[in-house]
Each structure stands twice: as C-alpha cells, then as structure tokens.
Amino acid sequence: MPTITVDGRQVRVEEGRTILQALDDAGLLMDGVDVPHYCWHPGLAVDGSCRLCQVEVEGLGGLQIACNTPVADGMVVHTTSDRVRDARAGVMELLLVNHPLDCPICDQAGECKLQDYAFEYGAAGARTREPRRALQKRVPLGPTIVLDQERCILCRRCVRFCREVTGTGELGIANRGDRSVIETFPGVELDNPYSMNVADICPVGALTTRDFRFKVRVWFLEERPGICTGCARGCNVWLGVAHGEVQRYTARRNDRVNGSWICDAGRLSYREIAAPDRLRTPLVRGEDGVLRSAELDVALDAATRRLRELIDAKGPGMLAALASAHLTNEDLAALRRLLDRLGVDAAGLTLVMGEGDDLLVHPEKGANAAGARAAGFGDPAPILERLRGGGLEGLIVLGHDLLHPTLLGSPDALDDLATLIVLDTHRSELERVADVVIPGRHLAEKGGTLVNAEGVVQEVAAAVEPPFPATAQAEVLDRLAEALAPRLAQAGGDG
Amino acid sequence: MVIPEAARDAIDAAIGRYPEPRAALLPALHIVQRELGCVPLEAARELAAIFAVAPVEVLELLSFYNLFRVEPGGRHRVNVCTNLPCSLRGARALLRGLEAHLGVAAGETTRDGRITLGHEECLGACAWAPMLRIDGDYHENLDLEDAKRLLDGLE
Ligand code: SF4
Ligand code: SF4
Ligand code: FES
C-alpha cells in the first residue's frame, strides 16, 4: 500500500485512487484535511471541472486538482499553503462573477458550500462591473425538482447522477461558456425514482425539491440521524427537525447500506410521522360495541382482562400474534417476552412484498423483516389460514400490514375473534373489529435497532417526541406482560 | 423518421470510422444539417436512438457549437465576426448597421426568409478585420456600405 504525506500527516492509501479519494477512504476528507470541492462526489465519477480542489504536490509544477491526481508512493501534498489558498480564492472569485447572490431568498442559504467557501476564501467585493447573467429562476425540471439557472455553478453533479447512478440521463448542459445552463431535452422530464437526490448533491441552491422549497429556513433545522422504514434496505437518512416536527429526510451517507442515496418514496415517507391518520389515542370497545377513546391505563386493563379471560377459557393455543416488519428488535423482543409468558407459540410476520430495483429499493416493504425473522417471526400463512377458517379466538396485531391484499386483505375474517388487541402507529380498518387499540411510536419517535436485508444491524436514537401521548410498542408490551404476570405465575404453579 | 435514408447511410459510414461509435455524433450532426438545413429536435431524438445516448446529450453537443441550428434559417447565413480584433476595427458597429439595414436582430431571419443574420467568434481572418461570412465564404476588410451591397446582392 502506497503512503502519501498530506500536510505532514502520513496517509496509507490504496493504489489507483486519487488524492481526494484517498483522503475520503481514510475518513480524513473535511474531517482533518479540508480540501474544498464542488464537482467531486464520493458516489460519482471524477469530473475535474470546478477546480476548487487544487493542492500543491511536491515535484509537480503548477497546482494539481486533488480529485483527479492519482496517488503515488511517497507523494507529498500540501493543502494549506498560500499558493493553494490563493488558487481557491481565484476559483471562488470566478464562480461568483455571475452568481445572483440572492441568499436571502435561497433555500440553500445556511447549508450552501458556495456561501461557506465565499466566506472562507472570497473577497468582500466583486471586481467585475459587467451585469450578472440573468436567467430563469424557477424552471420545473419534472415533478419533484425546480431549477434556478442563475445559481448553478455547473459542477455537473446532477448531470452525472442521472447518467451514472440512475442511468436515466435526463439532464445535460446546454450552450457554452457563460451561457451554459442545465437543461432537459424538450418533452423529457427529470422523473425517476431517485430524482430528489440531485437536490441533496447540488452544492448550491440551484436544485430544490418541490417538497421542501420555502418550507423552513435550514438554520432552524436540527439534523438527527435516522433510518428510513420504507423497505428492507434501511437507508440512512438525516431527519431535519424544526418546531418539534420532522420537516424532511435527506440522504445520510453509509457506504455499507445506501451509499449517498435514498429513493424518492423513502425520502417523502417522513410525512408518515406527522400524518393526519396517526393513531392519537387508545381506543376501547365498550359493552355497547362502540369503540371510544380511553386513557392508556384503561386500555391496558381492558387488554389484560380480555387476554386473561381468553386464556382461562380456551388456553393459549387459541391465541396468536402477528407483527409487522416495521417493528424494532426491541419491540419484537418485548412481544416475544409477552408471548412466552402467555405460552403462545403462534407468531407470524406480516411482511408486505412490493416492487424492488437493482439500486436500493427492496421488495420487502419493512425495515426490519430480517430482524423479525431472526426473532422467530416467520411465515404468517398458518395463522392467516386459521383466521380465515375460524380456528382462532384471539389475536394480537402489531401494525396493520395484515390488511394488505397479499395477506388478509379485509378485516372481515377478524370479525369472529373473541379478542383482538391492536398496537399501531396509524389508523386503519382494524378499528372496525378491534377490542382494544393502543397507539405506538414511529421509529423516529422511539429509536431502536433494525436489521436490513443484508444483515447490517443499525441502531438509531429517537429524534422527535410524538405530538400526542404515545408509548413505544416495547413498553406497552412489557406493561401488558407485567399485568398478566400474576395470573401466569399462578398458571405456572398449576403446571 | 426525419433523417433520410441516404443520410442514415452516411452516418453509419461515419460510425465505422471511429473506434468509439459515439465519436461520430459530431460528424452525424453535420450530415443531418447538410441534409435538412438544420438539426430539428426530432432528428436529435433519432440521433440519440442511433447512438444509444440520452437525447439531452445530443442537445448538449448541438447547442455547444453555434454552427448547428435546430430551426431552419434563411436561405443565406450571414455571420459577422465580433471577436476582439474585428471589434477593434468596428465589427460591432457593422453588425448593428446590418441589423438596422435588414430590420432583424442578430440571431433572427428576415421576413422574406432570405437571410439569417448572426455573429460569430474568431474565424482566423483577423488581419483583414472586420470580416463576415456568407454561407461558406469569407468577405474581409469591410465597411458598412460594402457589407450592405453584398447582402443586397443575395438571392
Ligand atoms: S444544478 Fe447544482 S448540481 Fe447541477 S450542475 Fe448546477 S450547481 Fe451542479
Ligand atoms: S430504498 Fe427503501 S429504505 Fe431506502 S429510502 Fe427507499 S424506501 Fe427507504
Ligand atoms: S473537485 Fe476537483 S475539480 Fe472539482
């Protein structure tokens, strides 16, 4: 392995990498060694167009662009010399010649690399007197993205993303020189399942998502690490939190899981957290058959009573549990504890299957299907069979994936159950037949551990509080288990 | 199909001349323009299919060079060089004068479809600045009156 010296620090690098790649591999880029760059991106091929990453390499004349200069054993690189700083200042001056400087109304302001480096290397004033180029400020490129041509610095990241990553190739640079603009071919929109990543990688405010545009000033956002629950990929995301609510997801780089990308559907799934159909209160069915909101204690009492009666009358063999693939390992472990105490064996995983692709989207629609299988929640078919045939008296359901057409479809088959206890995050048709419904927390509100389709175990912390009282599923289940314990201890004595 | 059969054959022949088929895209644009007078978007789309690239990549190339046009111009193309040496010798005034004479702005075509007026970067005739190009031919060391006479003589 060749070794290079960067600002006096020895870095062991892999053959064939460029200086910038080697720094990134070593985890030093912008985290120990600052080499500002616009066009280079770890998930894209080298472009070498922005010239900001220039560094001094001993023995080579002029400055070299770090993104495209291959490492060689013994290479000595300087990234902080006056020459380098002057070069960066020069590049910044040129990039700013035509920039509209409309930061006050720009969504990127506050997380903009042009602002950051102008602040660090830029001059206080412009030396040009020519008018700045006037271009289109809001070009809809497709259903998800809006382009501001004036702010674009032509780094081609968006163009390369569409060519190299999605292979859809919707974007290009039309014209030449100071007339260059990002364009789509007339009649062809930027429209692919990953389109919104271009807003993440655009270093300036040229590309914005229709979803987040003008929603919140980014300096009000606190970025907290999270995981998308959309499918078994378990992509890493940043949750942008402001005013106690998740305002957006952006991709959080994890080369073992999702690289630097997330899919559009996953990106927009933050909306599920504060969705109007969130289950906001426990519900208990009264003697008169009407489901009414209740305190959690009351709901837990009702659930305990019903489960106890059922087991006393029919034994644990007539009870089953179905868990959704969205639950965390912690939730599943708690469910397992409860089932063990009740002596219930029948436990299945309600996993919805859908479309997948060869980039990220996985056909298993649930972030913890692998974790659930590892915890012993498997094929739900035998349980579904018994439900359809009236061979069960009671059911504990976590999540409503069970209602997916590929599983049970409608809740009708649950009509005959003596006891149906539901723990869920969102409202569903299950309310029609449930005896007790208890609201749980979204992953973003409770954190936990998930195992993705490749077996990568990922843990995240809670990022927001639910805007209504909701208790993490694991805690609800543990409280149920505890309430049922005396009866079970007694049952144990009997046995 | 807007690209005629003969042009298609010429494009295939051009592709055969390069190790990387894509390299023939530029010659292909010339072939199409020679054949159709311009490269309409529909032809660009067909070229994209032939070269297995996204249509916007053809547009990139097409719009990079101001030799190509997507709409048919006038019967004659008159381009005034406005690079530095020509400009120092009055090319900008020459262009403004011709705009006034023809009643169009640079980039536009006269209403009778006779002339598309434009400006151009250096054509390597600086020693005889200012100059303009009518279709393929250079006309050098001009003043406005010479230039008007030249244009008036065009069919
Ligand atoms: S729109 Fe953004 S990502 Fe695309 S070239 Fe311009 S600055 Fe780069
Ligand atoms: S690929 Fe799956 S996990 Fe990743 S963002 Fe999309 S839905 Fe979420
Ligand atoms: S990052 Fe190296 S030239 Fe742009």
**Helix/strand number for chain B, H first, E second:** 7, 4
pLDDT per residue as tens digits for the range A13-46? 999 999 999 999 999 999 999 999 999 999 999 9
Helix/strand/coil for A246: strand
Give the H/E segment covering residue B6. helix B5-16
- Has domain B76-152 been given CATH number 3.20.20.70? no
Backbone φ and ψ of A189, nearest 5°: -95, 155
Using DSSP's 3-state secondary structure scheme, residue A181 falls into: strand
Interchain contact, B63 vs A176, CB within 8 Å: yes
Distances (CA, A) of A151 to A29, A109, A131: 26, 11, 15
Strand A364-365 versus strand A394-398 pairing type: unpaired
The tokens describing B13, both together, are 């022949």
Confirm or reject contact between B63 and chain A (CB < 8 A).
Answer: yes
Location of each CATH 3.40.30.10 domain in chain B: 76-152
CATH code of B5-64, in short, is: 1.10.10
> How many angstroms separate the CA atoms of A117 and B4, rounded?
52
Q: Name the residue with the closest Cα to ligand 2, atom 2.
A: A231
Q: Contact, A215 vs A251, CB < 8 A?
A: no
The dihedral formed by the CA atoms of A209, A214, A215 and A219, expressed in degrees to the nearest 10: 100
Kindly tell me if the per-residue pLDDT of A488 is higher than 60. Answer: no
Counted across chains A and B, CB pairs separated by less than 8 A come out at 43
ipTM higher than the 0.95 cut = no
Are A176 and B60 inside 8 Å of each other by CB?
no
Residues of chain B contacting A170 with CB distance shorter than 8 Å: 54, 56
**What are the DSSP E strand ranges found in chain B?**
76-81, 115-120, 132-134, 137-139
Query: How far apart (Å, rounded) are the C-alpha atoms in residues B11 and B23?
Result: 11
B67 closest CA partner among B91, B32, B97: B32
pTM (global) more than 0.90: yes
Residue type present at position A442? H
Which residue segments constitute the domains of chain A, with CATH numbers given? 3-95 (3.10.20.740), 283-494 (3.40.50.740)
- Separation CA A449–CA A463 (nearest Å): 14
Q: Is A185 on the interface with B (CB under 8 A)?
A: yes
Q: Which atom of ligand 2 is nearest to the CA of A367?
A: 3
pLDDT of residue A487: 53
Range B142-146, long-range pairs (CB < 8 A, 24+ positions):
B142/B94, B143/B90, B143/B94, B144/B93, B144/B94, B144/B97, B144/B98, B144/B101
- For the Cβ of A316 lying below 6 angstroms from any atom of ligand 2, the answer is no
Cβ-proximal residues to B146 (8 Å cutoff; 6+ apart), any chain: B139
Q: What is the DSSP string of A384-408?
A: HHHHHTT--SEEEEESSGGGSTTTT
CB contact under 8 A, B63 and A174: yes
Closest Cβ opposite residue A183 in set B53, B59, B65: B59
Cα–chain center distance at B43: 17
Mean pLDDT of A385-412: 95
Please state the rounded mean pLDDT for residues A413-432.
Answer: 96
Looking at chain B, which residues constitute the CATH 1.10.10 domain(s)?
Answer: 5-64
Look at residue A493 and tell me whether its pLDDT is greater than 80. no
Tokens at residue B79, please?
């381009």
Give the amino acid at A4. Answer: I
Residue A172 C-alpha, separation from nearest chain B C-alpha, in angstroms: 6
Determine, for residues B59 and A174 on separate chains, whether the beta-carbon distance falls below 8 Å. Answer: yes
Q: Is the pLDDT of residue A158 over 80?
A: yes
Q: Does A173 touch chain B (CB under 8 A)?
A: yes
Q: What is the pLDDT of residue A494?
A: 45
Residue type, A260: S
Dmax of chain B from CA atoms?
A: 50
Alpha-carbon span A206 to A156, nearest angstrom: 12
Please measure the distance between the N-terminal and C-terminal CA atoms of chain B and give it in whole angstroms: 31
Q: DSSP assignment, residue A70? A: B
CB-based contact (8 Å) between A186 and chain B? yes
Q: Closest ligand 3 atom to the C-alpha of A66?
A: 2
pLDDT in tens, A51-101: 999 999 999 989 999 999 999 999 999 999 999 999 999 999 999 999 999
By the CB < 8 Å criterion, does B44 face chain A? Answer: yes
- The tokens of A210 are what? 């229709």
pLDDT digits (tens, 9 = 90+) for B53-105: 999 999 999 999 988 989 888 999 999 999 999 999 999 999 999 999 999 99
3-state secondary structure of A131: coil
Contact between residue A400 and residue A426 where contact means Cβ atoms under 8 Å apart: yes
Q: What is the DSSP letter of A272?
A: G
